């Protein structure tokens, strides 16, 4: 069995394949590592480009656009290796990027998944929004990172150069044991796109395993390659999938109280969009809540299974405070400031 498989999920992303695939192959392909591109039924000529220019890359052609979550589920059914590396197509990797993470996972069997340092491709002095130096969430399901709070990203001055246990690893670049992927069932396709990696990592944490940030591995991410960060559709998925995340994973004694307060916060956000004439954003928050209720039955079934299999609850990795309050009222703009009080 090949030790490591780098798997890139592509949908109409020829421009990123042209820009980054050479670099990924150069710094990844070896006797112990294979590079795959799983194509989500692209309508551009991505597949032709790979066949013509990268015969060393294994092309997995999916029969429809499954989205990010189910796309990876389908692709990884066809991949056999000890470690999977889920890598976005809009990422430049650095020389030797695989070695520190693989070496750590080889010597730490409790590490189920890992994330490298993710810096901005366009401003390499700064962390990138989607993952930065490792992810966490607050008690109401708002994600944040060391190096990124809300929309504020920090400069990388070595302040997060320690190996650290984190709550979630970014789906932009996630190392995961194939055995753990299979045991947990991979991504939940109900999410389609966005926050599915946080849901997966919550289940990994609940199984008693660890997720680790490894700063000596560095990649550079453009971000927003498929959906821009200010996309109305991305806003819809983020509001809806936050509710999915909380409903599936919260313990019973916290579920209704936390969901109620999160809905109040979403209501405040919705009316803020309305008063600032961002009508599409306002409508998408409402649509997100409607869609959440439409999925309650299937979410309840998933929640029951999770609670039955839960070994522990990762309280120590969840910020028991409101990120919204800390950021907007207390003006805490960095991870370090957030933890000071």
How does pLDDT run along the chain (341 residues), one tens digit per residue? Answer: 799 999 999 999 999 999 999 999 999 999 999 999 999 999 999 999 999 999 999 999 999 999 999 999 999 999 999 999 999 999 999 999 999 999 999 999 999 999 999 999 999 999 999 999 999 999 999 999 999 999 999 999 999 999 999 999 999 999 999 999 999 999 999 999 999 999 999 999 999 999 999 999 999 999 875 566 668 899 999 999 999 999 999 999 999 999 999 999 999 999 999 999 999 999 999 999 999 999 999 999 999 999 998 988 999 999 999 999 999 999 999 999 998 87
Q: Say how far apart CA 215 and CA 210 lie, in whole Å.
A: 16
- What is the tally of structural domains in the chain? 2
Q: Say how far apart CA 36 and CA 291 lie, in whole Å.
A: 34
The predicted pLDDT at position 232 comes to 85
Question: What value, to the nearest 5°, has the Cα angle with vertex 183 and ends 179 and 187?
Answer: 100
Question: Are 69 and 111 in the same domain?
Answer: yes
First to last CA, the chain: 48
The predicted pLDDT at position 225 comes to 58
Question: Are 187 and 292 in the same domain?
Answer: no
The predicted pLDDT at position 1 comes to 78
Q: Please check whether residue 103 lies inside any domain of the structure.
A: yes
Question: Are 26 and 157 in the same domain?
Answer: yes
Range of the domain at 55: 2-221
- Bridge partners, residue 168, by sequence: 135
CB 76 within 8 A of CB 186: yes
Secondary structure letter of residue 224 according to DSSP: -
Q: Say how far apart CA 153 and CA 102 lie, in whole Å.
A: 27
Question: Are 159 and 88 in the same domain?
Answer: yes
The predicted pLDDT at position 228 comes to 62
- 74's enclosing H/E stretch is helix 67-76
Question: Are 71 and 173 in the same domain?
Answer: yes
Question: Are 32 and 139 in the same domain?
Answer: yes
The predicted pLDDT at position 224 comes to 72
Question: Are 65 and 146 in the same domain?
Answer: yes
Q: Please check whether residue 339 lies inside any domain of the structure.
A: no
Question: Are 86 and 111 in the same domain?
Answer: yes
- Give Cα separations from 33 to 81, 115, 130, 252 (angstroms): 9, 17, 25, 43
Q: pTM, whole model, 2 decimals?
A: 0.96
């Amino acid at each position: 069995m090949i030790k490591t498989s780098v798997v890139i999920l592509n949908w109409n992303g020829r421009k990123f394949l042209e820009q980054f695939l050479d670099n990924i192959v150069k710094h990844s392909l070896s006797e112990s590592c294979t590079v795959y591109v799983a194509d989500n039924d692209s309508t551009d000529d991505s597949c032709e480009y790979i066949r013509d220019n990268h015969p060393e890359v294994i092309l997995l052609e999916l029969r429809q656009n499954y989205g990010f979550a189910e796309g990876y589920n389908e692709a990884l059914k066809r991949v056999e290796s000890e470690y999977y590396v889920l890598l976005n197509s809009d990422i430049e990797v650095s020389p030797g990027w695989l070695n520190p993470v693989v070496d750590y996972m080889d010597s730490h069997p409790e590490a189920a998944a890992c994330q490298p340092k993710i810096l901005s491709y366009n401003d390499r002095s700064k962390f990138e929004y989607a993952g930065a130096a490792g992810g966490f969430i607050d008690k109401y399901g708002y994600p944040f990172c060391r190096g990124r709070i809300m929309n504020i990203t920090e400069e990388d001055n070595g302040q997060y150069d320690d190996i650290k246990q984190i709550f979630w690893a970014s789906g932009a670049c996630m190392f995961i044991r194939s055995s753990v992927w299979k045991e947990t069932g991979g991504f939940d396709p109900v999410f389609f796109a966005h926050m599915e990696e946080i849901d997966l990592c919550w289940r990994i944490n609940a199984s008693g395993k660890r997720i680790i940030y490894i700063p000596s591995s560095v990649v550079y991410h453009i971000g927003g390659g498929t959906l821009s960060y200010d996309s109305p559709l991305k806003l819809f998925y983020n509001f809806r999938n936050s509710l999915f995340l909380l409903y599936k994973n919260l313990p019973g004694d916290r579920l209704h109280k936390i969901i109620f307060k999160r809905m109040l916060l979403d209501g405040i956000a919705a009316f803020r969009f309305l008063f600032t004439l961002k009508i599409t954003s306002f409508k998408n928050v409402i649509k997100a809540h409607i869609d959440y209720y439409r999925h309650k039955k299937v979410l309840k079934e998933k929640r029951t299974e999770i609670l039955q299999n839960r070994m522990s609850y990762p309280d120590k990795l969840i910020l028991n405070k409101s990120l919204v309050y800390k950021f907007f009222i207390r003006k805490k703009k960095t991870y370090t400031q957030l933890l000071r009080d």
